[in-house]
């Protein structure tokens, strides 16, 4: 499995390793109306939200690498190429870094919403 991430047309540093990606999925948009005193609510289906996926990866915990991770969530267009899922573009809506292995490495999870 190969995962390649580009930001604004340039490949993200090879120091950032992407190791897993969830399938692109969309959740339904709904509007819910609560009915006071009733045993049920009225829920309207209003289409689907944009597809999203979660990427997981790691990098060495250096100032340069942490700066690269910060720049991934600045609203830039990311192009993600996956050997099974194909190529899609989107923006990073969250990126959560977690120090590991005595602080030498950083694991991260990022959510990308398709544009």
Largest interatomic CA distance in the chain: 58
In a domain, 87, yes or no: yes
Assigned domain for 57 exists: yes
The domain tally of the chain equals: 1
Q: Is 71 helix (H, G, I), strand (E, B) or coil?
A: helix
Q: Is 14 part of any domain?
A: yes
Q: Considering the domain boundaries, does residue 98 fall inside one?
A: yes
Print the domain residue range for 92. 3-25+50-114
- Report pLDDT digits (tens) over 101-113: 787 899 999 999 9
Answer yes or no: pTM beyond 0.95.
no
Torsion angles phi and psi, residue 74, rounded to 5: -95, 10
Q: Does residue 81 fall inside a structural domain?
A: yes
Over the stretch 13-72, which tens digit does the pLDDT of each residue have? 889 999 999 999 988 888 888 888 888 888 888 888 899 999 999 999 999 998 999 888
């Amino acid at each position: 499995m190969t995962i390649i991430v580009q930001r604004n047309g340039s490949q993200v540093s090879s120091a950032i390793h992407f190791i897993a990606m969830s399938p692109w999925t969309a959740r339904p948009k709904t509007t819910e109306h609560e009915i006071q005193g009733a045993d049920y609510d009225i829920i309207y289906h209003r289409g689907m939200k944009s597809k999203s996926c979660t990427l997981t990866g790691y990098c060495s915990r250096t100032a340069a690498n942490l700066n690269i991770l910060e720049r991934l969530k600045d609203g830039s267009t990311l192009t993600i190429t996956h050997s099974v899922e194909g190529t899609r573009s989107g923006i990073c809506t969250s990126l959560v870094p977690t120090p590991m292995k005595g602080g030498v490495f950083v694991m991260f999870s990022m959510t990308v919403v398709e544009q």
